[in-house]
Amino acid sequence: MSIVTVENVHKRFDDNEVLKGVSLNVETGQVVALLGRSGSGKSTLLRCLNGLEIIDSGRIEISGHTMDYEPKRLRALRQDVGIVFQSYNLFPHLSVAENIMLAPNLVKSLDKTKNRQLAEQVLDRIGLLDKIDAYPDKLSGGQQQRVAIARALAMEPRVMLFDEVTSALDPELTEEVLAVIEQLARDGMTMLLVTHEMNFARRVANMIVFMNEGRIWETGEPEAMFAHPQTPEFRAFTSRNVK
């Protein structure tokens, strides 16, 4: 069953049409890697999926929510759709636990003990339980990004969106973040991720979406797509990016 349905979505910024009729279906448990050159519309598409950008036309349905930007329904939708960016934006004056519990506190009205348990649960999942009372500046960039992922998981989302979450990290820190995402994939989380890590995309994704100039240019299963690019654009992209 589809958990994400995108139908003929158009999005423009002034006279720059960034999404030119994007349609996409994602099944529950699928891992979709969004690839494409800078400026091809990948981030905009992800942002549209949790209502950070308002589409001009088309239809988005995600985890049973129809995107209509009505504030109350939008909040409900965002509880089901987590997003993590390149910049992790943890609050420096709050501990790891406090960062994680901030949003659940606002929307879930759990008591203190339950909240703490939730923080423990998600930190255990990303392997940072021992940092629960640490402050962000005591963590490496990779650990901070993992906490940002844990913070999104604390809302118990049904779909996770990742936008180049390792792009700001050194290679040795990239691996630990990719490992967390790979574990989520094994746990059956539905995910759409924008990444430059081609080997990771090939290994973890079960669907590749190659975007070019605001359109889904080519899509398919990783092995077949990388072995036999169907378009000159994807062929050029892989020859530049796959070693």
- Of 68, 56, 58, which Cα lies nearest the Cα of 16? 56
Q: How far is the CB of 181 from ligand ADP (least distance, A)?
A: 18
**Are 149 and 84 spatial neighbours (Cβ–Cβ below 8 Å)?**
yes
| Closer to ligand ADP by Cβ: residue 154 or 211 | 211
The whole-angstrom separation of Cα 15 and Cα 13 is: 6
* Closer CB to ligand ADP, 38 or 109, in the complex: 38
From the list 32-40, 134-142, 198-206, 233-241, the region that binds ligand ADP by CB under 6 A is 32-40
For position 13 contacting ligand ADP by CB under 6 A, the verdict is yes
Of 37-45, 123-131, 151-159, 180-188: span binding ligand ADP (CB under 6 A): 37-45
Q: Which amino acid is it at 123?
A: L
115 binds Mg ion (CB under 5 A): no
Q: What DSSP string describes 48-96? A: HHTTSS--SEEEEEETTEE----HHHHHHHHHHEEEE-SS----TTS-H
Structure tokens at 243: 């070693």
Per-residue binding string, Mg ion, 37-56, x by CB under 5 A, is: ------x-------------
Q: Is 195 in the site for Mg ion (CB under 5 A)?
A: no
Based on the shown chain and the rule CB under 6 A, indicate whether residue 44 belongs to the binding site for ligand ADP. Answer: yes
The CB density around residue 241, as the number of other CB atoms within 10 Å, is: 13
| Interface contacts to ligand ADP, rule CB under 6 A | 13, 16, 18, 36, 38-44
